[in-house]
Amino acid sequence: MNLEKLYDLSGPCGLVIVLIGIVAVYISIRNYLYTSFAWKNFKKTFVNTSTNEEKCLKDYQGGNPFLNIIYAMVTTHQQHSDDLRAEVVYLFNKNFRSVTNGLTVLKLITVISPLLGLLGTVLGMLTIFEEISKLSNQDPQILALGIWQALITTVMGLCVAIPTLVMFYLLSMRMKIFLMETIEHTYQAISSFNKVDRRA
């Protein structure tokens, strides 16, 4: 089905729903892959490294958002505090800004897509009633086809909104887990560096 047929079937609202559905799929896949690769690299170079944490951070050249956060915290803090946790949250949101922005767009799509579907249905029904008023002999089959075409945008909107909402919450839960892990590893790294300083 090409865009012209899709436009004839569902109107401008249906076409917009399809486009934002494609955007939702792209953002979901991109965010999932980006966080997966970043976390895998973090575990490989820091959590599961065969060398100690101090050497890993001292040799760090940047690039991994998780390590960026821990490196920044270790170089500026010498002890645990409530401010440390808040600063980790701030740095986490800063380093994962593209992901959090993507989550905001996903949440917006879950709200907009069913409303666009409803708008398309209302516009379609208005068109049907306008055509009915012009015809003296109404064919029930044509009327049913027109109603079907009007309602299809509501179905399309819900088909985009529901999986997008699921992906939004799954990715949000994933980011919360990563945040907790980052805070924990930050505490461990600071403690490790404090021990080294005391030995020195």
Residue 176 has pLDDT above 50, yes or no: yes
Domains in the chain: how many in total?
1
- Check residue 194 and give its pLDDT: 64
pLDDT surpasses 90 at 180: yes
Q: Is residue 4 part of a domain?
A: no
Residue 115 resides in a domain: yes
pLDDT for position 46: 74
Q: How many CB atoms lie within 10 A of CB 118?
A: 15
Does the pLDDT of residue 1 top 70, yes or no? no
High-pLDDT (> 70) share of the chain, %: 76
Q: Would you say residue 6 lies in a domain?
A: no
Q: Which domain holds residue 72?
A: 12-199
**Spatial contact of 147 and 121, defined as CB atoms under 8 Å apart:** no
Evaluate if residue 57 carries a pLDDT over 70. Answer: no
Question: Is residue 72 a part of any domain in this protein?
Answer: yes
User: Quick one: CA dihedral 33, 34, 36, 40, positive or negative?
Assistant: positive
- What's the CA gap between 70 and 157, in Å, rounded? 42
Average predicted confidence (pLDDT) for the chain = 82
User: Using an 8 Å Cβ cutoff, are 2 and 18 in contact?
Assistant: no
Sequence-ordered list of residues with C-beta below 8 angstroms from that of 157, at least 6 positions apart, any chain: 17, 113, 114, 115, 116, 117, 118, 120
Lowest mean pLDDT among 19-28, 75-84, 146-155: 75-84
Residue 200 has a pLDDT of 47
Q: Is residue 3 part of a domain?
A: no
> What proportion of the chain, given as a percentage, has pLDDT over 90?
42
Q: Is the pLDDT of residue 30 over 70?
A: yes
